[in-house]
Chains A and B, each alone.
Chain A
């Protein structure tokens, strides 16, 4: 082995760490002892709080009606880091299924975090606590499409870390969420800059799961800009990282995304291979929803290849799976693909009936008003016999854009 002062080498080599550290500085012994004491006191406090905090949060949320959650901000057992960490986890769990509830918890957490007294924790820890709560709030608002408020919240989360150079990972995660918000606001260059900065830190601290997540967000942004070849390149590069890190879930997601890019580029042969790979991996992992999502992609490929009957059968199967999993948005996207095929093949009556079902499903699930509006408009034009496949694709693109980048950064 060649020993050197290269930091990558130092991080792996105990003897070079030792050598690099020797004879550097005569420390101020008192200051160093005080630092160590503060570190240990903070560690003890945070660990003590973590014991049993989960039950407390769960009980408070369960026993209090949601509209009364704001008053829980005064509840002493919830006013500490561990309880806030549990709330952050609760927000993350609810984002996909129930963003309104996720936002209510995030609002509670932000209100507690912002009102914790200075001195409760070391300043940097307090900064991290506040930033995390505000970031979760921004994420929940993003899911609900309230992008201006989401941006304000994430900007405040970022500002809470301004004074702390040492909070590298927290800052990077904030940048990742900010990138997603900017992407949804169609500010692609700004989003790209944020992702580049965040990816740099994830790579530097050797956090490959988040590095991959940032890459997926970057690829999705490129897809939204219809830069499919660039997105393919991003996903391919990430695939090698995911394979070397034995991250099967990300491999499956990347194969699925590569399948979508190939579909958009009308390279149906490659798309079919990527979707098969994705389905195999998701099946191994037992991710039923993801299998259905990939089946939907495969259905689109088959229709593109001219195998209409087979493609529509796969879309119907995927739609049923999503419905059984209570995922109306995804089921709706399957339906829109089916409607597109029906319109193209003159099956207008079936298309009209299916559009009406989607409107009912979206309304019952209280989905984003813009998604409902898009399908209502589509149904109206089908009723008037004026709908074209292009009109269906427009509705599909809108509904899909509201579901894109829904991966929560934590």
Chain B
């Protein structure tokens, strides 16, 4: 990794030489801390929480700045940094969610939600789906709910379950197969 150029902003009178040397060492430590971990925090924000790149960098930077005020309280650096960026990402999304404007009621009537069009016709099918879902084991129910009711991505479900995305994909496919079998149980083959 490239070493950062450290620019000194404080005056360094000759009679403060030992203090200045210590500060240089501190600067180096802080520089290394930032350099060694910045990319990790951005990677977590982007890969685990799908935060847009520029926002991810801003969040990581903010975590580092907040570290400066709290550094004497921190015992384990990496768990602290990682925990702080995870919280920052969740907070970021909560704030973004809050900024979503409410729909204009009249506009909503003029332009109905396409997802609710023909809901009366679709209702029996939806009830059948619910029935099938309820017949599945709890873990299968949870995975299908996350994927199809709550709209989580495969990667988000993988994070939630603590497994890889590839395995999650297989898991979702297995749940769907099981649901299909529950809906259309195939007749047992008779032995010849």
- A residues apposed to B, CB below 8 Å: 4-7, 10-12, 17, 20-21, 24-25, 27-28, 31-33, 35-48, 51, 81, 122, 124-125, 128-129, 164-171, 201, 204-207
Contacts and interface: CB of A to CB of B under 8 A. Distances in A.
The 7 closest A-B pairs by CB, nearest first: A166-B62, A205-B83, A206-B79, A204-B83, A168-B87, A165-B91, A165-B88
B83 A206 contact: yes
Query: Interface size class for chain B?
Result: 35 or more
Interface residues of B: mostly helix, strand, loop or mixed?
Answer: helix
Interface stretch (B25-33, B119-127, B145-153, B168-176): B25-33
The interface centre, meaning the residue of B48, B84, B86 with most chain A CB atoms within 10 A of its CB, is B84
Contacts of B46: 24-25
A44 B8 contact: yes
A166 B66 contact: yes
A165 B89 contact: yes
A248 B31 CA distance: 36
Contacts of A168: 63, 66, 83-84, 87-88, 91
Contact of A206 (B66, B75, B91): B75
* Most A CB within 10 A of own CB, among B5, B7, B42, B79: B79
B38 A32 contact: yes
Interface of B: 4-10, 19, 23, 26-27, 30-31, 34-35, 38-40, 42-44, 46-48, 53, 56-57, 59, 61-66, 68-70, 73-76, 78-80, 82-89, 91-92, 95, 162, 164
Nearest to A26: B53
Nearest to B82: A11
Given A21-B40, A165-B87, A46 B66 contact: no
B156 to A, nearest CB: 13
User: For B10, B62, B64, B65, which residue has the most chain A Cβ atoms within 10 angstroms?
Assistant: B65
5 contacts: A35-B38, A125-B65, A165-B87, A166-B63, A166-B66
A11 B48 CA distance: 14
Which secondary structure dominates where chain A touches chain B?
A: helix
B144 to A, nearest CB: 23
Given A6-B162, A7-B82, A165-B91, A17 B10 contact: no
Contact of A207 (B44, B80, B85): B80
Most buried by B among A11, A39, A206: A39
B87 A46 contact: no
Contacts of A21: 39-40, 43
Given A24-B43, A165-B95, A207-B80, A39 B69 contact: no
A165 B56 CA distance: 11
Nearest to B26: A47
A24 B47 contact: yes
Contacts of B66: 124-125, 128, 164, 166-170
Contact of B62 (A46, A51, A165): A165
Contacts of B88: 165-166, 168
Given A44-B23, A165-B87, A201-B83, A5 B70 contact: no
A27 B27 contact: no
Contact of A25 (B5, B35, B43): B43
Contacts of A11: 76, 78-79, 82
Given A164-B62, A165-B62, A40 B4 contact: yes
Contact of A165 (B10, B30, B59, B68): B59
Contacts of A12: 78
A43 B40 contact: no
Contact of A204 (B19, B26, B35, B86): B86
A410 B80 CA distance: 17
Nearest to A172: B87
Contacts of A48: 10, 23
A39 B62 contact: no
A32 B27 contact: no
B65 A42 contact: yes
Contacts of A44: 8-10, 23, 26-27, 30
Contacts of A20: 40, 43-44, 47
Given A40-B30, A201-B83, A46 B68 contact: yes
A124 B68 CA distance: 10
B43 A40 contact: no
Nearest to A200: B87
B62 A167 contact: yes
Contact of B6 (A17, A40, A46): A40
Contact of B70 (A45, A122, A165, A170): A170
Contacts of B79: 11, 205-206
A351 to B, nearest CB: 48
B44 A7 contact: yes
Contacts of B56: 25
Nearest to A201: B87
Which of B66, B73, B84 has its CB near the most chain A CB atoms (within 10 A)? B66
Contacts of B35: 36
Contacts of A6: 162
A159 B62 CA distance: 17
Contacts of A171: 87, 91
Contacts of A125: 65-66, 68-69
A205 B6 CA distance: 29
A7 B85 CA distance: 11
A47 B46 CA distance: 32
